[in-house]
Amino acid sequence: MSPVSHLRENPLELAREQLARVAAAFEIDPSIAEILGRCKKSLIVSIPVRMDDGTVKVFEGYRVAHNVARGPAKGGIRYHPDVTLDEVRALSMWMSWKCALTGIPFGGAKGGIACDPKQLSRGELERLTRRYTAEIIADIGPERDILAPDVGTDPSVMAWVFDTYSMHVGYSEREVVTGKPLEVGGSHGRLEATSRGALFCARSTAEKLGRPLSEQTVAIQGLGNVGGFLARFLAGDGARVVALSDSSGGVHDPAGLDVEAALAHKATTGSLAGLPGARPITNEELLLTECDLLAPCALEQVIHEGNADRVRARVVLEGANGPVTPAADVILEQRGVLVLPDVLANAGGVVVSYFEWVQGIQKYFWSEAEVNAQLEIVMTSAFDETWALHEERGLSMRLAAYGLGVQRLADATKTRGLYP
């Protein structure tokens, strides 16, 4: 039997619904809104891979560029069984708003392969990545479309993309991909950037609400790169992490979990199951845990119309892309739950990806302290702009953040005009 998809609704339709709300609230020219609701280019590629047992398996891959009015396309590639073309299109749109909100001179893009990377050997992953890169190579490049990591991919995957592209063009082209290992032109601070940016948003929110993180309880769904580092950072700020989960389930302790012990247990055993001193819970139960800050850091649509009325957090920080559906947004807003939207809360990754791209072009690399300091400036500025609009017009943080991003992209589109 095929696995049940985590997607309850078509993500592209949800992204367009969000855009329609923004266009109405910010009086975006309907013709411009029509352009922004479509993706510039969508590729579907067939990826034959020789498996370790000698057989050949064919995977399906995608690469979508949403908009390039503000600069070259930019976005990650995800390896997950549920990857679809419409999901990738939606993710590319959200990336466009994210880049515009933070002032990064990129347009949105996204890519993915429908596969389960946990079931593939290292060799199979490398062959899959290299063939995927070769299939889309005519449409990517440092001034065209720049790749990055996402769900199911990591710096080593980015290194394979970089090497494959470079072998095709005949010289090393670092800027075609970000999130690379330091040894081949990556940036200090990139691995933790998404989580560190989320931390800056959490700190700014705590300051606005008059309650420091050291007095707050936290639940985090997803213990991959984003969730794992965010748990460390929030615990380092004194927050009491009461619940954590990964794809197989979670753990809960109202007195507080030892984050380092939990991460070590997962690294050793492959999951959080059996963590000493903690009660096992499901991912659904984690989302309904009583806490001050809930951070869904896994996949889309985990908070939806069916469970939003039972979320007991005061603040929801979207570490993942699209974890709260539009219908759930309405319910949470009516209940007074503050949602820190994805295009703001998890924008740290693309900000430091931009820093990595700049460093590669200049052939001059920054220290980790410099990267983190510049990231804080960009994230704090984006948060402050969003919060000011949120208060000034009485908008939700999502509508304010999306509005700023969409308006900036609409302005760029209008200024450039139509060709021919």
Give residue-wise pLDDT tens across range 20-71.
999 999 999 999 999 999 999 999 999 999 999 999 999 999 999 999 999 9
CATH number for the domain including 210? 3.40.50.720
Residue 388: partners with Cβ closer than 8 Å, 6 or more residues away: none
Q: Give the per-residue pLDDT at 4.
A: 56
Closest by Cα among 173, 83, 171, 161 to 126 = 161
Phi, psi of 363 (to 5 degrees): 60, 35
The one catalytic residue in 98, 110, 180, 266 is: 110
Active site residue 363: no
Residues 141 and 251 reside in one and the same domain:
no
Q: Is the residue at 365 inside a domain?
A: no
Q: Which of 129, 148, 175 is the last residue of a domain?
A: 175
- Predicted confidence (pLDDT) at residue 418 exceeds the cutoff of 60: yes
Give 88-130 pLDDT, tens digit per residue. Answer: 999 999 999 999 999 999 999 999 999 999 999 999 999 999 9
Residues 305 and 166 reside in one and the same domain:
no
Q: Give the per-residue pLDDT at 8.
A: 79
Q: Give the per-residue pLDDT at 247.
A: 86
Residues 331 and 198 reside in one and the same domain:
yes
- Predicted confidence (pLDDT) at residue 5 exceeds the cutoff of 70: no
Q: Is the residue at 282 inside a domain?
A: yes
Q: Which of 293, 326, 345 is the last residue of a domain?
A: 345
Domain housing 218: 193-345
Residues 29 and 170 reside in one and the same domain:
yes
Domain count, the chain: 2
- The stretches of 248-325 forming alpha helices (DSSP H) are 259-269, 283-287
Residues 290 and 332 reside in one and the same domain:
yes
Give 142-188 pLDDT, tens digit per residue. Answer: 999 999 999 999 999 999 999 999 999 999 999 999 999 999 999 99
Q: Is the residue at 76 inside a domain?
A: yes
- The stretches of 219-363 forming alpha helices (DSSP H) are 225-236, 259-269, 283-287, 326-334, 342-345, 348-362
Q: How far is CA 37 from the centre of its chain?
A: 20
Name the maximum alpha-carbon separation found in the chain: 66
pTM of the model: 0.94
Residues 166 and 20 reside in one and the same domain:
yes
> Residue 83: what residue type?
V
Q: Which of 315, 345, 375 is the last residue of a domain?
A: 345
The whole-angstrom separation of Cα 242 and Cα 298 is: 17
Residues 141 and 201 reside in one and the same domain:
no
Q: Is the residue at 314 inside a domain?
A: yes
CATH number for the domain including 89? 3.40.50.10860
Phi, psi of 417 (to 5 degrees): 80, -175
